[in-house]
């Protein structure tokens, strides 16, 4: 099984084992999709581009305000959450969660998945 297939499998497991997580993707720092478990009506390229834009802004804020290394950002909308978590130096895990998500559980599962993805990406 290729690295991309392993990551895709992990993303599908994340989406199915955590009921509050609706979708997940791994995007590199330049906005290229590495792997995804997104609904059919969500464009991979769009998610990748927006993830890279949010990552860039988040890293700049962390750097400019002397908050150390970027690790996670969350955006809350009226219909749910978008969460980006660092998976290593070269990629982020993007997760879409429901508006009623139990964030403690979601963050725990995201943290575990991000570490495993980081290991797979080397």
pTM, two decimals, is 0.94
- DSSP assignment letter at 65: T
**Residue 81 pLDDT > 90, yes or no?**
yes
Q: Which two tokens stand for residue 98?
A: 């429901």
User: Residue 47 in contact with residue 105, Cβ under 8 Å?
Assistant: no
Question: Which CATH number do you get for residue 88?
Answer: 3.30.450.30
Confidence of residue 122 (pLDDT cuts 50, 70, 90): confident
Quote the CA–CA distance of 118 and 112 in Å, as a whole number.
Answer: 10
Angle, CA of 36, 67 and 101, to the nearest 5°: 40
Coil, strand or helix at 122: coil
Q: How many domains does the chain have?
A: 1
**pLDDT, tens only, 58-69:** 999 999 999 999
List the one residue out of 40, 108, 98 whose CA is nearest residue 72.
108
Q: Which range of residues forms the domain containing residue 54?
A: 3-121
């Amino acid at each position: 099984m290729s690295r991309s297939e392993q990551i895709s499998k992990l993303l599908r497991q994340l989406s199915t084992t955590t009921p509050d997580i609706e979708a997940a993707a791994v995007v590199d720092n330049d906005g290229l999709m590495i792997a995804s478990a997104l609904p059919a009506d969500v464009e991979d390229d769009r998610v990748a581009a927006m993830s890279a834009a949010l990552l860039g802004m988040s890293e700049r804020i962390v750097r400019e305000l002397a908050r150390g290394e970027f690790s996670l950002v969350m955006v809350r909308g009226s219909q749910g959450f978008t969460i980006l978590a660092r998976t290593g130096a070269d990629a982020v895990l993007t997760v879409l969660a429901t508006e009623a998500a139990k964030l403690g559980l979601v963050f725990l599962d995201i943290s575990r998945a991000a570490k495993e993805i980081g290991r797979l990406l080397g």
